Amino acid sequence: MTISTITAQDGPRTQTGPGQGNRRQAMLTILCGIALAVALVPHATDLVSADTITTALVLTCPVALAALGGVWAERAGVVNIGLEGMMILGTWGAGFGALQWGPAFGLVFGMACGALGSLVHAVVTVTFKVDHIVAGVAINILAPGVAKYLSSLTFAAMPGGGTTQSPPVPSLPVLPLPFGLGGLSTGIVLGLVVFPLSWWLLWRTPYGLRLRFCGENPVAATSLGMRVTALRHSAVISSGALAGLGGALLVLASSGLYRDGQTAGRGYMGLAATVFGNWTPSGAFAGSFLYGYMDALQLRGGGSAVRTVLVVAALACGILAVLVLLRRGGLRRLAPPALAAVLLTAITALTDSVPEQVAFVAPYMAVLVALVASGQRLRPPAALGKRHDIASS
Amino acid sequence: MKLIPHLRGAAIGLLSSVAALVFAAAAAWLILAATGASPLEAARAMVLNGFSDASAAIILNSAAAYYLSAVAVAFTFRLNLFNIGTEGQYRIAALCAAAVGAGLSLPAPLGQVVIVTTAMIAGAVWAAIPALLKTLKGVNEVISTIALNFIAIGLISYLLAPGRLGSGSGSNMGTAPIADGLRDSGIDIAVQGAGLHWSSLLAVAAGIGFYVLIERTVFGFDLRAAGRSVDAARTGGVPLGRTIVIAMVLSGATAGLIGMPALLGDSGSFTLSFPSGLGFIGIAVALFGGNRAAGMAVGALLFSFLDNSSNVLQLMDISNEVVRIMEGLIILAVVITNRLTSRWRTNQARPDRLKDMSAAPAAPAPVNAGGDA
């Protein structure tokens, strides 16, 4: 038991019943708000245009794969802050693999590099039982150094490359989409397929049940004859491979080359999505989509698009406040949405475009707001972050 | 008589740190040898450069910043609270201090006090956000501090735009310079070129303050107790929420000091090229030093030496990232050896009849004696 898990224990543990209803109601409200706003607010149709959605998918996928990696590791009870470092290893691996043997091998090699990084994490945390966050931080210091060192060895000598950047890499084939939606890189499609696959593996197979058991009660799992160490190793290595795939997609499906510092904290945002996605593949994807969507909006539409989102958010908060009022909820429940609605309305009324620097911050603000909103409804795996050490337990 | 086991414990602790260093150095040696460079030449160049007069002051100045950063995170690490947000906290603090300092026309000691205090308050306020989010809303501090680091980047570039706090353009975009009278004139020690900054002595003060507060006060005891076991601390009556907020605020205030040697001693204003990344190095230094005042001092000097002397490697056509790899390996090796020695100590502290039971499962043992270690 550490400080990190305090509030999870302190807060009310709502698993079914009113909590579930509240969440459904909140989702419904947000959907209603968006629908209304799209109808009412000028330029709001840009928010749901096909272009925005495909860009959002491309930006979501790397983060979401890191988040899925987080789900794998943390469901087995291992905190994986090192996702960012593993993703960085994946970007180098993808760049090098694609230039040597072609884009498909780039994907595979990126995954392998991420898995290699997570092997270190697995050995340090599972075998040597070092604190998980400490080990992850160490990986995040080590991995960028390794990637930069390798890139200075490999890419610097290539024509068009340098010490911090690779030459352009061959890209993956593009899959045409129906209904005039344009095309989507096969890498992204592959990334999307991994989500249902992971869900099936973790929730519908004996292996997945055992893996999740290790995250809930490793001592009981051991006494039932499960090989906790091996299971946790496999979970952490899969986690790194997924983060590596996320990094590989940044190179092969998004920017078209390896660049130093390309991940820009996406591994960390993935970890955030793992948490407020309540440690499920679907939740992790939805959380990452929030980040990817806001990122796509600020990249494509800039400040004015972000302002439109704020208008939509103001409307949604207003509707929520009215609903609370109709249900005669107390002041404690009414205050947050009402205040938020007033504040957002004031902000949007004063400006017709959000400054560019504030728009850059929008995805991170969205993540923070989502964490605050979902904070106490989350239920982490019971043994998350604990050292599994029979001798000392 | 009680001293001997203590001495033995300290010796083992020291030995394990040295073993970790040797391991990391050997790994770096192998990496260099594998890529065809001469490890011996590289090591010689680094040591010669590191101990030359001109670089000694630079190394001490940056060690001071590393140490402040390490102390800042150690306030929360000792509570098992992972504040990754030092990076954002010190940059926000330095910006606020620079903006206030630029408008000041106070006499020398008073003006500096105002600037440093501003930095501490700004850092503390920025650190209070994740603390309150955690205690009031249960938001995981690792994630909120990381998000706040990015938000700090956005906020700083917003505030630095001309017409707000800044002027100029490109990477020169920054606050107006602080008056010369308020700048850090430097301590005149016998070195050429660079001098040691007065503001680097803030690190010494922070280290002493950290030691006294954590190891010698009731608050420090509460903090360490909660860091070891939340349940035990809560049962013992430690106010958890208050401890979290105070630890984060102390951490943020200390983080505010990180930028002071650079601001008062070097640049005199906050620009877009103000040193970055100091917050992340502090995490590495704190982990190396086991979050103890003395250990972190050794770590700060070591990392500062490695970072500053690695520049010479580029003259030899070796990427100085080798040093980064070495630093990461040092951290990993140190935490592993610490873990192994603490397990060994626990085993030593057991009654004789239970000793080595976990290490030697083959020996005849009672049926319910537990499994392997």
Contact yes or no for A275 and B140 at CB 8 A: yes
Residue B255 in tokens: 């983080």
pLDDT at A13 over 70: no
E strand or H helix that includes residue A362 = helix A356-374
Which among A138, A376, A390 has the least Cβ separation from residue B328? A138
Query: Could you give the CA distance from residue A263 to residue A94 in angstroms, rounded to a whole number?
Result: 13
Query: Could you give the CA distance from residue A247 to residue A191 in angstroms, rounded to a whole number?
Result: 11
Q: How far is B113 from chain A (nearest CA, A)?
A: 32
Helix axes B141-160, B86-102, angle to 10 degrees: 30
Which among B31, B154, B324 has the least Cβ separation from residue A358? B154
ipTM over the 0.90 cut-off: no
**Under a CB-based contact definition with an 8 Å cutoff, are residues B325 and B334 in contact?**
no
Q: How confident is the model at residue B369 (pLDDT cuts 50, 70, 90)?
A: very low
pLDDT at B359 over 70: no
Q: What is the pLDDT of residue A349?
A: 76
Q: What is the pLDDT of residue B322?
A: 82
Residue A249, SS3 per DSSP: helix
Q: What is the pLDDT of residue A161?
A: 80
Contact yes or no for A268 and B231 at CB 8 A: no
- Annotate A38-79 with DSSP letters as a single string: HHHSTTGGGGG-HHHHHHHHHHHHHHHHHHHHHHHHHHTT--
- The type of residue at A117 is G
Chain A environment of B231 (Cβ under 8 Å) = 1
Q: What is the pLDDT of residue A87?
A: 96
Residues in Cβ contact with A220 at an 8 Å cutoff, skipping those fewer than 6 apart: A213
Residue A277, SS3 per DSSP: coil
Chain B environment of A265 (Cβ under 8 Å) = 146, 149-150
Per the prediction, chain B carries an average pLDDT of 82
The backbone torsions φ and ψ at residue B62, rounded to the nearest 5 degrees and listed phi first, read -75, -25
Query: Could you give the CA distance from residue A113 to residue A86 in angstroms, rounded to a whole number?
Result: 7
For tokens 């005891």, what's the residue?
B221
Chain B environment of A271 (Cβ under 8 Å) = 142-143
pLDDT at B194 over 90: no
pLDDT at A5 over 60: no
Which among A10, A152, A361 has the least Cβ separation from residue B319? A152
CA nearest to B335 within chain A? A130
Query: Could you give the CA distance from residue B255 to residue B293 in angstroms, rounded to a whole number?
Result: 15
Distance set, CA B86 to CA A38, B52, B156, B324 (Å): 40, 31, 15, 20
Q: What is the pLDDT of residues A240-253, one digit of tens each?
A: 999 999 999 999 98
Helices (H), ranges, chain B: 3-34, 39-50, 53-77, 86-102, 108-137, 141-160, 202-216, 218-228, 230-235, 240-258, 260, 278-288, 293-309, 311-315, 321-349
Q: What is the pLDDT of residues B237-296, one digit of tens each?
A: 888 899 999 999 999 999 999 999 888 888 888 888 888 889 988 998 998 888 899 989
A349-353, B262-266, B319-323: which has the highest mean pLDDT? Answer: B262-266
Beta strand extents in A144-284 (DSSP E only):
174-176, 183-185
Q: What is the CA radius of gyration of chain B?
A: 23
Q: What is the pLDDT of residue A19?
A: 47
Which among A222, A357, A368 has the least Cβ separation from residue B144? A368
**Mean local confidence (pLDDT), B39-65:** 82
Q: What is the pLDDT of residues B67-105, one digit of tens each?
A: 999 999 999 999 988 888 999 999 999 999 999 888 877
Q: How far is B197 from chain A (nearest CA, A)?
A: 28
Chain B environment of A128 (Cβ under 8 Å) = 336, 339-340
Query: Could you give the CA distance from residue A155 to residue A166 in angstroms, rounded to a whole number?
Result: 5
Q: What is the pLDDT of residues A372-389, one digit of tens each?
A: 877 667 788 888 887 765
Residues in Cβ contact with B292 at an 8 Å cutoff, skipping those fewer than 6 apart: B74
Q: How far is A47 from chain B (nearest CA, A)?
A: 23
Give, in degrees to the nearest 5, the angle at Cα A167 between A165 and A172. Answer: 110
Count of C-beta atoms within a 10 Å radius of residue B194: 18
Q: What is the pLDDT of residue A22?
A: 63
Which among A8, A129, A148 has the least Cβ separation from residue B138? A8
Contact yes or no for A376 and B137 at CB 8 A: yes
CA nearest to A275 within chain B? B140
Query: Could you give the CA distance from residue A105 to residue A89 in angstroms, rounded to a whole number?
Result: 15
Q: What is the pLDDT of residue B315?
A: 78
Distance set, CA A200 to CA A93, A195, A197, A205 (Å): 28, 9, 5, 7
Give, in degrees to the nearest 5, the angle at Cα A83 between B70 and A271. Answer: 90
Q: How confident is the model at residue A3 (pLDDT cuts 50, 70, 90)?
A: low
Higher pLDDT, A51 or B59: B59
Q: What is the pLDDT of residue A38?
A: 67
Q: How far is A138 from chain B (nearest CA, A)?
A: 6
Higher pLDDT, B198 or B293: B293
CA A257 centroid distance within chain: 22
Listed residue (A80, A87, A168) closest to A125, CA to CA: A80
pLDDT at A339 over 50: yes
Query: Could you give the CA distance from residue B208 to residue B241 in angstroms, rounded to a whole number?
Result: 26
Query: Could you give the CA distance from residue B138 to residue A13 in angstroms, rounded to a whole number?
Result: 12
CA nearest to A141 within chain B? B328
Q: How confident is the model at residue B365 (pLDDT cuts 50, 70, 90)?
A: very low
Query: Could you give the CA distance from residue B121 to residue B92 in angstroms, rounded to a whole number?
Result: 10
pLDDT at A8 over 60: no
Q: How confident is the model at residue A144 (pLDDT cuts 50, 70, 90)?
A: very high
Q: How far is B62 from chain A (nearest CA, A)?
A: 18
**Mean local confidence (pLDDT), A130-141:** 88
Helix axes A83-101, A50-75, angle to 10 degrees: 120
E strand or H helix that includes residue A271 = helix A266-276
**Under a CB-based contact definition with an 8 Å cutoff, are residues A137 and A81 in contact?**
yes
Residue A357, SS3 per DSSP: helix
pLDDT at B229 over 50: yes
Q: What is the pLDDT of residue A7?
A: 45
Contact yes or no for B139 and A371 at CB 8 A: yes
Q: What is the pLDDT of residue A18?
A: 44
Contact yes or no for B325 and A6 at CB 8 A: no
Per the prediction, chain A carries an average pLDDT of 83
pLDDT at A116 over 50: yes
Look up residue A172 and give its DSSP letter: P
Q: What is the pLDDT of residues A233-283, one digit of tens each?
A: 999 999 999 999 999 999 998 888 898 888 888 999 999 899 888 899 999
**Mean local confidence (pLDDT), A352-368:** 80
Contact yes or no for A368 and B147 at CB 8 A: yes
Query: Could you give the CA distance from residue A110 to residue B216 in angstroms, rounded to a whole number?
Result: 50
The backbone torsions φ and ψ at residue B193, rounded to the nearest 5 degrees and listed phi first, read 75, -95
- Annotate A119-149 with DSSP letters as a single string: HHHHIIIIIS---HHHHHHHHHHHHHHHHHH
Contact yes or no for B138 and A11 at CB 8 A: yes
Residues in Cβ contact with B338 at an 8 Å cutoff, skipping those fewer than 6 apart: B16, B290
Q: What is the pLDDT of residue B70?
A: 96
Residue B271, SS3 per DSSP: strand
Q: What is the pLDDT of residue A35?
A: 72
A13-17, A44-48, A190-194: which has the highest mean pLDDT? Answer: A190-194
- Dihedral angle computed from the Cα positions of residues B20, B23, B28 and B32, in that order, rounded to the nearest 10 degrees: 170
Q: What is the pLDDT of residues B116-154, one digit of tens each?
A: 999 999 999 999 999 999 998 888 888 899 899 999 998
Contact yes or no for B324 and A153 at CB 8 A: no
- Annotate A97-120 with DSSP letters as a single string: HHHHH-HHHHHHHHHHHHHHHHHH
